[in-house]
Structure formats: C-alpha cells, structure tokens
C-alpha cells in the first residue's frame, strides 16, 4: 500500500473543500493509498507539515489555494525529499491550476491526481530563501492578492481580486530600477514587474500559452514602463489585453537569472503572499526542481 499525506487548508476559497474530504479519501483509497489527513491551522503550517513528514510518505496531496501549495512546496524543498506533489485547487483564483489546466471540480481534480504520473516542474528561488511556483511580482496589482480580506475571498471568490485590482488603479507608483538578466541590462522607471511561470496573474492579467513552458529552465519576465501620458497608458492596456506585446512600454522576455536593483525597498508578492523586499533582490530558476502532477 502506498502512503499519501493529504494536506488541506479548510479555509481556502469558499471553504468548500471541507465537504469533499471523505470523497477524496475514497478516491485515493481505491487507487491503493493509505491516506493520512493533516488540516492546516495557521499560515505557514503547510510548510511545517510537509518538511517534517515528507520522508515518511510516498506522495503528498495538497488541497487549497496557491498560497497553500506554495507552503507545501517550501516544506518539501526544505526536507530534501523530492516527493511527488498532487494539487487539488480550492482557492479563490487558482492561477497555477488555471495555467496547468487542472480540473476545476474538486472531485475531478482528485481523480486526475490519483491516476496521473508526476512531471518535472521548474521553481523560482527568491533572494536565496523562498521558493515560488508561478510568480514573484512588484508594483501595480501586486497588493491585490494578499490585501484582499479572506472573508471577501470566501464570499465573492475571483470577483474579490478583480475589485481589489480596480481599486489599485488609483494607487499606482513607479520605481526607478536596474534589472540584470542573463548578462543583459534594462534600466528605466517601471510601474509593474513580474517573474512568472504562469499564464494567469491574480485573475487580472493573462499571458498566452505559447509563451509559457513549465520545465524549460527559464521563467518569463514582464515589465511595464511608467506611461508618460494617457495615450501611452491606453496603448499599454491594449497591449496587455491583446497579448501582442508590441508596445515600447511593455517588455516580455525569458530569463533564468535576474537581479533587481531599486533606490528604495519594495514589497513583492510571492505566489500571492506578501514578501517584504529589499532594495536589491536576486531571483533564479531551478530547473526540474519539483515532481508535480499535471
């Protein structure tokens, strides 16, 4: 019998996952697993569970939002045990699950994970102390994911992010930055930046699938320059919505090693969670870091 560690965040999304626990256990039991259920009780608890117990199991199943998955990934990477991870998305937006085209139904997602073998998956490593699976971002909209109250997320779901993102439009700042990537340099004033391995960002912006590969050793870097006038802003918005990226104000390029220098400390969103940044940060891609089921 295979041993499965089932880590579930009972407060994720609209708290709907709790009612599916017995069904999920049944699905995996029928596939030959003995299931141990560990609900998270606080922020960071998923990482603690995964780090402590990864060596005792054959596979981990994570059920929750992108933040819960990030915690499990932290724990697995810190444990040094490259145990396969399955993901049942149950959050409000589920950016990574959207990119991976995982089933939106909790039951169907469980059935998919139970019957699918893992694939290699790249991870980002932020400032040499935090892993991320799909995005590290700063600037406009960055605060949306971690500032949206959990109660609002539970009641409105994806719409909560859209509302918070709209509010952020009136509170956009620019940063003078120098960005080194794979031996190249770009220096300008930016209102948004992201190092990403996803096609969906907070449910607000999307990238077309051809630009994204999950195990090619590089992430995409998206930078938005500070518009000089209303016409520039309109062009930038049209560029993002059409995904043609043919504006001088929008930069999109692949990179595996990125360093960001700014004259002031800036906050980042790491897989949707707040990270208090410094003036200078380094980001690198770890190829094939994870065995993820997708």
22-34 pLDDT, tens digit per residue, is 999 999 999 999 9
Percent pLDDT > 70 in the chain is 84
Q: What pLDDT score was predicted for residue 231? A: 79
Q: How confident is residue 161, by pLDDT bands cut at 50, 70 and 90?
A: very low
Domain 2-116 has CATH 3.40.50.10330: yes
Longest dimension (CA), the chain: 64
Average confidence score pLDDT of the chain: 86
- Assigned CATH for 132-287: 2.60.200.40
Q: CA-to-CA distance for 209 and 230, rounded, in angstroms?
A: 30
Which pTM was predicted?
Answer: 0.83
- Tell me how far CA of residue 24 lies from CA of 1, 17, 107, in angstroms: 17, 10, 7
More confident residue, 57 or 248: 57
Residue 215's Cβ-count burial label (10 Å; 0-12, 13-18, 19+) is middle
What six digits make up the tokens of 210? Answer: 């051809």
Phi/psi at 72 (nearest 5 deg)? -60, -40
Domain ranges for the chain, please list them: 2-116, 132-287
Q: CA-to-CA distance for 292 and 294, rounded, in angstroms?
A: 6
C-beta of residue 180 within 8 angstroms of C-beta of residue 259: yes
Long-range CB pairs of 272-276, under 8 A, 24+ apart, other chains included: 272/65, 272/66, 272/67, 272/70, 272/93, 272/95, 272/135, 272/145, 272/146, 272/202, 273/67, 273/70, 273/145, 273/146, 274/143, 274/146, 275/126, 275/130, 275/136
What six digits make up the tokens of 6? Answer: 């089932």
Q: How confident is residue 142, by pLDDT bands cut at 50, 70 and 90?
A: low
SS3 content of the chain, % helix, strand, coil (to 5): 35, 35, 30
Q: CA-to-CA distance for 15 and 26, rounded, in angstroms?
A: 20
What six digits make up the tokens of 115? Answer: 């019957």
HSE-CB at 249 with a 13 A cutoff on CA atoms is: 19
More confident residue, 202 or 272: 272
Phi/psi at 3 (nearest 5 deg)? -105, 125
Residue 252's Cβ-count burial label (10 Å; 0-12, 13-18, 19+) is middle
């Amino acid at each position: 019998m295979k041993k499965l560690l089932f880590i579930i965040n009972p407060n994720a999304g609209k708290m709907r996952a709790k009612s599916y626990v017995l069904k999920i256990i049944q699905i995996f039991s029928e596939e030959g697993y003995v299931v141990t259920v560990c609900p998270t009780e606080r922020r960071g608890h998923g990482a603690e569970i995964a780090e402590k117990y990864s060596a005792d199991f054959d596979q981990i199943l994570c059920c929750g939002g992108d933040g819960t998955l990030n915690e499990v990934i932290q724990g697995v990477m810190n444990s040094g045990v490259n145990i396969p991870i399955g993901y049942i998305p149950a959050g409000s937006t589920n950016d990574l699950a959207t990119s991976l085209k995982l089933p939106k139904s909790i039951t169907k997602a469980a059935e998919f994970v139970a019957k699918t073998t893992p694939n290699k998956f790249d991870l980002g490593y932020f400032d040499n102390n935090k892993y991320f699976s799909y995005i590290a971002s700063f600037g406009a909209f960055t605060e949306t994911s971690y500032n949206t109250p959990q109660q609002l997320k539970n009641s409105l779901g994806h719409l909560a992010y859209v509302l918070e993102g709209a509010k952020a439009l009136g509170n956009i700042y620019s940063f003078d930055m120098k960005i080194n990537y794979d031996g190249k340099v770009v220096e300008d004033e930016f209102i948004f930046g992201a190092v990403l391995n996803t096609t969906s960002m907070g449910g607000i912006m999307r990238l077309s699938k051809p630009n994204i590969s999950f195990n090619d050793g590089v992430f995409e870097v998206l930078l938005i320059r500070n518009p000089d006038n209303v016409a520039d802003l309109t062009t930038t918005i049209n560029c993002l919505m059409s995904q043609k990226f043919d504006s001088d104000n929008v930069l999109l390029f692949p990179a595996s090693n990125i360093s960001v220098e700014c004259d002031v400390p800036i906050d980042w969103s790491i897989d949707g969670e707040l990270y208090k940044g410094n003036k200078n940060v380094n980001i690198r891609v770890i190829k094939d870091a994870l065995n993820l089921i997708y």
